[in-house]
Amino acid sequence: MLFICDFSSGLDDMPRKDQRDIGKVLRVLDKCGRFSVFEATDNQTIATTMTRLCHSDLIETDNSCGYPWTMVKLTEAGKRHLEDQAATPAKGASDAN
């Protein structure tokens, strides 16, 4: 029997420019509901973003699941942030009128 443990929720697969984007990181965390310390510290870009998020009112963290995992739940403020971002047109988008 072979066990493969993947310590990734997808944060380390994101391009660095996306790792700087709080909204994009929030979407990954909302989808997966957890992150590992390995991917949250994979590089300075994601480490900075994760530090900002963990010290914000956008997420709640729970370390009770054991190392290296941290469970994540978006707060109402985090959900609003994603809703507001979805309602804002992307940069460079124009109306077809």
Look at the pTM and tell me if it is higher than 0.95.
no
Q: How far apart are CA 22 and CA 38, in angstroms?
A: 19
Pairing relationship of beta strands 69-74 and 34-36 according to DSSP bridges: antiparallel
Residue 91 confidence (pLDDT): 63
**Confidence check: pLDDT of 8 > 90:** no
Residue ranges covered by each domain of the chain: 11-81
Give residue-wise pLDDT tens across range 38-78: 999 999 999 999 999 999 999 999 999 999 999 999 999 99
Mean pLDDT of the chain: 88
11-81 architecture in CATH? Orthogonal Bundle (1.10)
User: Which CA distances in Å does 10 have to 25, 44, 93?
Assistant: 9, 16, 27
